[in-house]
């Protein structure tokens, strides 16, 4: 008798994912049930990785959109080509489908990365598509979603710069899966895999330093595991003395933010954290 394959273990192996068993299981369940999925969590916790891995495991085609505050409604739904309109008028052949229309027509997954960075008007375009599988495009008419159409979206917490709240109506159309920072052992394994570094002391120090920025009250925003990956890559490539300290000075300033009331400058705070991470390790 053939043994059943564990889908979560299969996804982890196929996509190099460390941990995240519960989040993968729930995301897989949501999509398998034909529901729309919202993954929420801070930068660098693997929201996009989880979303795309689950879609790939289910054999679902994906149309990707990366949200920003300049994204327009017509860019999401589609637009008419002006020269063709002048020559032929407003017809299907002069219309270029945007990612939402393309996903609906072909029964694909529309993956919206950082949904809450999009303007409210663009977010609202999704409501009838999510709710009824319907979109009305001016001069084209009704677009009905083919079987299999779903929306998978990610968002960062609202305290992050350039993010906003999703409307209650829009959130109500999604099933929610939250992703948080992983435990220290899993982050060490992620950094080891991503960098291929066999200096486990360096990896442990970089992870400890990164995690310290998340709990130190002087920081408004701490760093994700990406900072630890960057520090290990930089330090391992350097033969300079105190390579980790030098790597931290390059990798962390773009990924952390001190509170306004913090008196010490960032380089001094980072020096202190480097020393603390080494003692901890």
Chain segment 231-253, per-residue pLDDT in tens? 999 999 988 888 999 999 999 99
6-15, 115-124, 208-217: segment of lowest average pLDDT: 115-124
Is residue 84 over pLDDT 80? no
In tens, the pLDDT along 122-150 reads 888 899 999 899 988 888 778 899 999 99
Label residue 265 left, alpha or beta by phi (over 0 means left) and psi (-120 to 50 means alpha).
beta
Q: What CATH architecture does domain 7-178 belong to?
A: 3-Layer(aba) Sandwich (3.40)
pLDDT at 276: 77
Q: Residue 2: pLDDT above 50?
A: no
Indicate the pLDDT class of residue 281, thresholds 50, 70 and 90: low
- CA dist 45 and 60 (Å) reads 23
What value does the mean pLDDT take over residues 21-30? 96
And the tokens for 38? 């919202």
| Position 170 pLDDT exceeds 70 | yes
Confidence of residue 207 (pLDDT cuts 50, 70, 90): very high
**Percentage of residues in the chain with pLDDT exceeding 70?**
91
* Residue 278 token pair: 């080494």
CA-based torsion, 167, 61, 106, 84: positive or negative: positive
d(CA 12, CA 20): 8
**pLDDT at residue 201 greater than cutoff 60:** yes
What is the predicted pLDDT for the residue at 140? Answer: 79
- What is residue 153's predicted lDDT score, i.e. its pLDDT? 95
Alpha helices in the chain (DSSP H): 7-15, 21-32, 47-57, 73-77, 82-88, 99-106, 120-132, 168-171, 184-195, 200-215, 225-236, 243-251, 266-280
Kindly report, as residue ranges, where domains of CATH 3.40.50.300 are found in the chain.
7-178
pLDDT band at 14 (very low <50, low <70, confident <90, very high): very high
Provide the mean pLDDT of the chain: 88
Provide the pLDDT confidence category of residue 166 given band limits of 50, 70 and 90.
Answer: confident
List % helix, strand, coil for the chain (3-state, nearest 5). 50, 15, 35
* Closest to 173 measured CA to CA, from 134, 131, 136: 131
Q: Which of 170, 160, 84, 176 is nearest to 129 (CA)?
A: 170
Q: What strands, in cross-sheet order, belong to the sheet with 175-178?
A: 62-66, 109-113, 150-155, 37-40, 175-178
Fold adopted by 184-280: Helicase, Ruva Protein; domain 3 (1.10.8)
Q: What global pTM score does this model have?
A: 0.86
* Domain boundaries for CATH 1.10.8 within the chain: 184-280
């Amino acid at each position: 008798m053939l043994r059943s394959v564990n889908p979560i273990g299969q996804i982890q192996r196929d996509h190099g994912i460390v941990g995240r068993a519960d989040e993968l299981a729930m995301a897989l369940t949501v999509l398998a049930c034909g529901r729309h999925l919202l993954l929420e969590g801070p930068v660098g916790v693997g929201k996009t990785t989880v979303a795309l891995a689950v879609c790939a495991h289910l054999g679902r085609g994906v149309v990707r959109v990366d949200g920003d505050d300049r994204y327009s409604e017509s860019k999401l739904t589609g637009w008419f080509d002006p020269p063709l309109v002048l020559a032929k008028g407003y017809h299907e052949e002069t219309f270029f489908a945007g990612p939402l229309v393309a996903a609906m027509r072909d029964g694909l997954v529309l993956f919206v990365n950082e949904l809450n960075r999009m303007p409210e008007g663009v977010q609202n375009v999704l409501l009838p598509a999510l709710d009824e599988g319907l979109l009305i495009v001016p001069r084209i008419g009704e677009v009905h979603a083919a079987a299999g159409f779903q929306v998978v979206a990610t968002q960062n917490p609202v305290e992050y710069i350039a993010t906003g709240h999703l409307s209650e109506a829009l959130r109500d159309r999604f099933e929610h899966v939250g992703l948080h920072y992983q435990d220290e052992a899993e982050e060490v394994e992620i950094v080891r895999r991503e960098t291929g570094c066999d200096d486990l002391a360096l990896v442990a120090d970089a992870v400890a330093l990164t995690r310290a920025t998340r709990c130190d009250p002087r920081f408004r925003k701490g760093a994700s595991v990406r900072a630890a990956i960057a520090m290990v890559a930089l330090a391992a490539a350097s033969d300079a003395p105190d390579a980790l300290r030098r790597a931290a000075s390059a990798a962390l300033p773009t990924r952390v933010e001190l509170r306004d009331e913090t008196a010490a400058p960032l380089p001094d705070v980072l020096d202190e954290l480097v020393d603390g991470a080494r003692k901890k390790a």
